[in-house]
Amino acid sequence: MKTRTTIPVSGANTDEYSRLPDSRSGDPYLDICETLHTLLTRKRGYYGCREEGPLDNALGVAEQGIPPWVYQLARIGEKVRRCGGLRGAIVDGQYDKIRETLLDIAGHAVVAIAVLDHEENSHEYQGD
């Protein structure tokens, strides 16, 4: 099994670096999805979410009147701007910085979908 170089877990309240697998199945889409799942699960722990409430942190912004999926879009925008600033990273061979940022974008998109699904399911149960 090939292992990617050390990738910082951005946004986490830790200085630890995580080693995320590069390839397991030979299917690049599955491998990236599994890596993204590992990253999201680790970050969820850093933000203090309980196992039975994995969206607690993401849903919490609603207390300030911000729809959670809109907040995730704002975070995606931040990451896209960061990617724009990393254009020179490929020249410098810093692929991991770009890869990490793209995983962050994908992660925020997954969280946005998860909170939308949560909100939809909550409305269904309330009869809305």
Q: Following DSSP, what letter does each residue of 83-114 receive, concatenated?
A: HHHTGGGTTTT-HHHHHHHHHHHHHHHHHHHH
Percent with pLDDT over 70 in the chain: 76
Angle at the Cα of 77 (from 114 to 94), degrees rounded to 5? 105
Neighbouring residues of 43: CB distance < 8 A, sequence distance ≥ 6: 9, 11, 12, 107
- Give residue limits of the domains in the chain: 2-126
Distance spanning both ends of the chain, measured CA to CA: 49
Q: Residue 21: in which H helix or E strand, if any?
A: strand 21-23
- pLDDT for residue 116 is more than 50: yes
The Cα-based distances of 77 to 22, 24, 87, 94, 118 in angstroms read 26, 30, 16, 21, 22
pLDDT number for residue 105: 96
- The string of pLDDT tens digits covering residues 2-44 is 444 344 444 443 332 345 555 577 889 999 999 999 888 888 8
pTM assigned to the model? 0.74
Contact 34, 24 (CB under 8 A): yes
What is the CB-side half-sphere exposure of residue 67 using CA atoms within 13 A?
A: 11
